[in-house]
Amino acid sequence: MTIHDPDLQAASSAPSSAAGPGEAGGILTIDLAAIEANWKKLAGMSIPVECAAVVKGDAYGCGLEPVARKLAATGCRTFFVADVAEGRKVRAIAPDATVYVLSGLMPGAAPSFAKDDLRPVINSATELAEWDAFIATQNWRGGAALHVDTGMNRLGISVDEAVAIASRVQSENHGFTLLMSHLACADTPNHPMNDKQVRLFREIRILYRGVPSSLANSSGIFLGGTLYCDLVRPGMALYGANPTPGKTNPMWPVVELKGRIIQVRSVGKGETVGYGATFTAPRASRIAVVAVGYADGLLRSAGAAKGKAAGTVIVAGRRCPIVGRVSMDLTAVDVTDLPDGKARRGDFATLIGEGSSVDDLAAGMGTIGYEVLTNLGRRYHRVYMGA
């Protein structure tokens, strides 16, 4: 569902679109007003705690620049990105914002942080030593986040290391502007890891009293105020995916994706479709060939396989199954059950939209909404609503 607001600007096409609307195999529409509404909802839930925005991965495939520009105008003052290149883009759009780089300090990269006023998320004792050496020689006071691993076992200093260096916060220029950790199982509310991580982080926070802290991601915000700390950092929920799996999605949908039908062909009973002849028509069938494939982010796993149902798309208001293997540029869809003339060359099949969410498409591919959005292809003609 798109938010309808008479004050919104008209839809605008992304200037970097690879093809015009009449040329592209697919049309990707991104509702920036919905992203704004999602951020405001999450910010409202976490008052008086600050609400940041995670815009890594090209804003989860939605376009870093337009998304960051919209959120900055909405009132977001802290952003999290994956690397320095993304941070540099946010800095150009939001010169006064605080920008944290989640991948931390690459060897020799410290000068880049100072140049663009970015803050590394320190993920190891080795990174911390290199960062300390840099700020000691350059006298730079831009600050850094300290990431403590409370159970994810991916990045972050250990709890023991955090305890060992906690005394440095007694010095005036300790350099830490944020203490953070990352929840491993926030999308499973009753998972015991949540309580374990909250308890560990609470103990570390006591040692770092006076340093702002952050624990809650998108799903963590819905676990309640005990996880909010001083700053929440939603990511996927901003872009319309469901942060509460198994419950009704509380977020506005952001993305609509349509693929163009470039041919409708008849296939006889017993004939096969696509590479590997993995689909055999059980009856005389009509197959719509859609100009979207795995090069556009529609994973090969969307096709039916042994023990797995096919993914579906919506054609003429009805769900239709994908048949055969998804290929690089094309996907075959069974439209036999549609009335004649309801699927024609030039029409569109809806992959996301019309009641089919990004999570629905992900389920049909055996994956999660994160992977769907971050793999949205660059060949789509992009349209931004509510800019």
**DSSP readout, 175-233?**
-EEEEE---SSTTSTT-HHHHHHHHHHHHHHHHTTTS-EE---HHHHTT-GGGTTTEE-
CA–CA gap between residue 80 and residue 99 (Å, rounded):
6
CA–CA gap between residue 168 and residue 135 (Å, rounded):
15
Shared fold status for 32-239 and 255-385:
no
Give the side-chain half-sphere CA count within 13 A for 61: 25
> What confidence score (pLDDT) does residue 125 get?
96
Residues 6+ away with beta carbon under 8 Å from 73: none
Active site (catalytic) residues = 56, 275
- In order of 214, 247, 374, 383, the CA distances from 17 in angstroms are 36, 35, 17, 9
> What confidence score (pLDDT) does residue 387 get?
81
> What confidence score (pLDDT) does residue 306 get?
57
Are 158 and 125 a contacting pair, CB within 8 Å? Answer: no
For the record, the structure tokens of 13 come out as: 């096409």
SS (H, E, C) 26-95: EEEEEEHHHHHHHHHHHHHHCCCCEECEECHHHHHCCCHHHHHHHHHHHCCCEEEECCHHHHHHHHHHCC
Per-residue confidence of the chain (387 residues) as pLDDT tens digits? 344 343 334 344 444 446 787 888 999 999 999 999 999 999 999 999 999 999 999 999 999 999 999 999 999 999 999 999 999 999 999 999 999 999 999 999 999 999 999 999 999 999 999 999 999 999 888 899 999 999 999 999 999 999 999 999 988 889 999 999 999 999 999 999 999 999 999 999 999 999 999 999 999 999 988 899 999 999 999 999 999 999 999 999 999 999 999 999 999 999 999 999 989 999 999 999 999 999 999 998 888 765 566 789 999 999 999 999 999 999 999 999 999 889 999 999 999 999 999 999 999 888 999 999 999 988 999 999 998
> What confidence score (pLDDT) does residue 347 get?
96
The candidate with the shortest Cα–Cα distance to 298, out of 20, 108, 42, 25, is 25
> What confidence score (pLDDT) does residue 14 get?
44
> What confidence score (pLDDT) does residue 305 get?
63
Q: The dihedral of CA 328, 296, 354, 310: what is its sign?
A: positive
CA–CA gap between residue 176 and residue 141 (Å, rounded):
10
Instruction: Please provide residue 27's backbone torsions phi and psi, each rounded to the nearest 5 degrees.
Output: -120, 120
CA–CA gap between residue 102 and residue 122 (Å, rounded):
8
> What confidence score (pLDDT) does residue 308 get?
60
Which listed CATH number (3.40.190.10, 3.60.15.10, 2.40.37.10, 3.40.630.10) goes with 255-385? 2.40.37.10
> What confidence score (pLDDT) does residue 241 get?
95
Q: The dihedral of CA 363, 365, 367, 370: what is its sign?
A: negative
Helix or strand or coil: residue 259?
Answer: strand
Block residue for tokens 């309801």? 342
Are 301 and 366 a contacting pair, CB within 8 Å? Answer: yes
Q: 32-239, which class in CATH?
A: alpha beta
Domain ranges of the chain: 32-239, 255-385
